[in-house]
């Protein structure tokens, strides 16, 4: 079977797994084992030579199993399947999205280096950038989606640290406003900066991936995921992933070996199960989100809606979206008429849609970014990025769309609008 010519969704049930190695079981067992028995001392020696980079792989040679911190069948099969979606050479899975992100930042930055990052970014990432990296002498420079190519280049050059630029962390679309960063534009700018070393660009693709955006095709070197979200997709596990070319991934996997923050075999197995339905889940969520956004757009109690499917024709965001994404996704946020009390009244009245943070699961979730996921962001930054008292974020799930719209509609009906709204 020529696997390479098939679409990822066709391969999620079988790719990389050999039933004959597991008593013919159609499904990959959970390999709950810490260590693996070598056939001979010579074999053990040769595996370690590869693991420690003491020799090159022979033609067709596969890395043997040694110890579950280094490699484990559930994780290897999962990594091979995840690679197919982003067409990446290699993948490493982690025990959380944050461990994937922090491991990459630690591997590609050293004291004195400059990190360029897009803002807003996920709260945990933001915390690591602002509270941990300075402790190891890493300098940071943030930029926003409003900056164009010239603004960004100017900001880097005038920072006085352009030469030390070593790594870029992007998150697009940004949580919770769906603001877009043009990955190819950042690549062009970074390539023009006279730096001491080659600059690596990592993109947190949690919101869109792995279905609707492939950052490697737009000039990124690494793709990051919270696999807790769409990849896991059932709100029942925490995991992360990094993908990229073999050279960079060897560095990521080596640091993972020594930090010991790989996913467990059980989590790996859960994710293998999730991947089988990834495409149909994400497509069903997106189809629902399009209908939900259409409903909210025309509702009198909704002041403004942020959804990639509703970007204005001819706008810069629309142009980036059409070039960079293949679908508008299933994350919607909107400003309710009024402020916190109206937003809370709405959230407290939802019946089917659950009031919780996180996203990308089969069930629809709603939350209030300003007081929940983005509570740690400084007030002036919240305002600047459009995280207001009136903003509500929705992660749309796989329920029936009429039931979702009914629930949103009845919850909006309970909201009493004060006459002081800003029009």
Binding residues for ligand PLP, per CB under 6 A? 96-98, 122, 124-125, 171, 175, 204, 206-207, 226, 228-229, 238, 240
Nearest to 296 by CA among 309, 283, 282, 285: 309
**Which residue's CB is nearer to ligand PLP, number 327 or number 369?**
369
We find the least distance from the C-beta atom of residue 239 to ligand PLP, in angstroms, to be 6
CA distance 328 to 291: 12
We find the least distance from the C-beta atom of residue 260 to ligand PLP, in angstroms, to be 16
**Which residue's CB is nearer to ligand PLP, number 98 or number 404?**
98
C-alpha pair distances (Å), 259 with each of 106, 107, 249, 256, 331: 11, 11, 15, 5, 33
We find the least distance from the C-beta atom of residue 225 to ligand PLP, in angstroms, to be 8
**Which residue's CB is nearer to ligand PLP, number 164 or number 267?**
267
Cis peptide before 9 (omega within 30 of 0): no
Determine phi and psi for 41, rounding to 5 degrees.
-60, -35
**Which residue's CB is nearer to ligand PLP, number 174 or number 412?**
174
CB 204 within 8 A of CB 122: yes
Element (H, E) at 118: strand 114-119
> By Cβ distance, which residue is nearest to ligand PLP?
97
We find the least distance from the C-beta atom of residue 89 to ligand PLP, in angstroms, to be 23
Structure tokens at 189: 């700018």
We find the least distance from the C-beta atom of residue 166 to ligand PLP, in angstroms, to be 21
Nearest to 220 by CA among 240, 199, 206: 199
**Which residue's CB is nearer to ligand PLP, number 120 or number 338?**
120
26 secondary structure, DSSP code: S
**Which residue's CB is nearer to ligand PLP, number 164 or number 286?**
286
Residues near 352 by beta carbon (within 8 Å), at least 6 away in sequence: 364, 399, 403, 404, 406, 407
We find the least distance from the C-beta atom of residue 298 to ligand PLP, in angstroms, to be 29
């Amino acid at each position: 079977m020529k696997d390479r010519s098939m679409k990822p969704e066709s391969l999620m049930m079988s790719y990389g797994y050999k039933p004959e190695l597991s008593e013919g079981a159609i499904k990959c067992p959970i390999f709950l084992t810490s260590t693996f028995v070598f056939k001979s001392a010579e074999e053990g020696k040769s595996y370690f030579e590869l693991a420690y980079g003491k020799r090159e792989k022979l033609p067709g040679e596969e890395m043997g199993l040694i110890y579950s911190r280094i490699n484990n069948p559930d994780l290897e099969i999962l990594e091979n399947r995840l690679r197919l979606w982003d067409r990446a050479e290699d993948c490493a899975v982690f025990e959380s999205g944050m461990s994937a992100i922090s491991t990459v930042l630690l591997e590609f930055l050293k004291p004195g280096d400059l990190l360029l990052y897009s803002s807003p970014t996920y709260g945990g990432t933001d915390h690591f950038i602002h509270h941990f990296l300075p402790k190891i002498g890493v300098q940071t420079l943030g930029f926003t989606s409003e900056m164009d190519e010239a603004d960004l280049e100017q900001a880097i050059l005038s920072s006085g640290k352009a030469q030390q630029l070593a790594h870029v962390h992007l998150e697009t679309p940004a949580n919770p406003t769906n603001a877009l960063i043009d990955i190819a534009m950042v690549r062009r700018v970074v390539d023009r900066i006279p730096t001491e070393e080659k600059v690596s660009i990592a993109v947190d693709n949690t919101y869109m991936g792995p279905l609707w955006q492939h950052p490697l095709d737009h000039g990124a070197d690494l793709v990051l995921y919270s696999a807790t979200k769409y990849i896991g997709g059932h709100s029942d596990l925490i995991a992360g992933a990094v993908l990229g070319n073999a050279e960079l991934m060897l560095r990521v996997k080596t640091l993972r070996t020594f930090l010991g923050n790989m996913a467990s075999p059980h989590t790996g197995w859960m994710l293998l199960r999730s991947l089988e339905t990834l495409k149909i889940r994400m497509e069903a969520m997106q189809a629902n989100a399009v209908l939900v956004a259409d409903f909210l757009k025309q509702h009198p109690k909704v002041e403004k809606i942020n959804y990639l499917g509703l970007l204005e024709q001819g706008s810069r965001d629309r142009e980036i979206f059409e070039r960079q994404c293949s679908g508008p996704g299933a994350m919607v946020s909107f400003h309710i008429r009024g402020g916190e009390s109206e937003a809370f009244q709405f959230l407290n009245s939802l019946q089917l849609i659950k009031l919780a943070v996180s996203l990308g699961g089969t069930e629809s979730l709603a939350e209030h970014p300003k007081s929940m996921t983005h509570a740690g962001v400084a007030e002036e930054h919240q305002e600047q990025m459009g995280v207001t008292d009136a903003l509500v974020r929705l992660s749309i799930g796989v329920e029936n769309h009429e039931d979702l719209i009914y629930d949103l509609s009845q919850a909006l009906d309970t909201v009493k609008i004060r006459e002081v709204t800003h029009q």
